[in-house]
Amino acid sequence: MNVYIVAKFIAKAGKADELEKVLHDGVKPARAEAGCLHYDLYRNVEDGNVFLFHETWKDAAAVDFHNDQAHFKTMIAAAEPLLVQPPELIKL
């Protein structure tokens, strides 16, 4: 069964452009993963500090694989100091 994820990241004041680069750098390698069906990053047009990943994965195993990849771990570690709070994650 497909797994859908929406992940919300909120940048600290003055850090949105830096966060956008960090998050954007994770898009291409995620899309290259075998279990990735869809992986897009969006920036809120009303509040430029808010970013959303909209993801579709083949199954829960693909999500687990993704979460264990070096590029994902690097992205999360680089994003953490730029965030107001930990990312919000909704799995559907």
What number of other Cβ atoms are within 10 A of residue 89's Cβ?
Answer: 10
Q: How far is CA 3 from CA 39, 56, 57, 73, 91, in A?
A: 12, 6, 5, 20, 7
Q: Find tokens 């897009």 and name the residue.
A: 40
51 pLDDT band (50/70/90 cuts)?
very high
Domains of the chain from N-terminus onward: 3-91 (3.30.70.100)
Give residue 68's pLDDT: 98
Give residue 72's pLDDT: 98
Partners of 8 in beta bridges: 52, 88
Q: What percent of the chain has pLDDT over 90?
A: 100
Q: How does the average pLDDT of the chain come out, rounded?
A: 98
Give residue 74's pLDDT: 97
- Could you tell me if 4 and 91 are in contact, meaning their C-beta atoms sit under 8 angstroms apart? yes
Chain mean position to CA 57 = 13
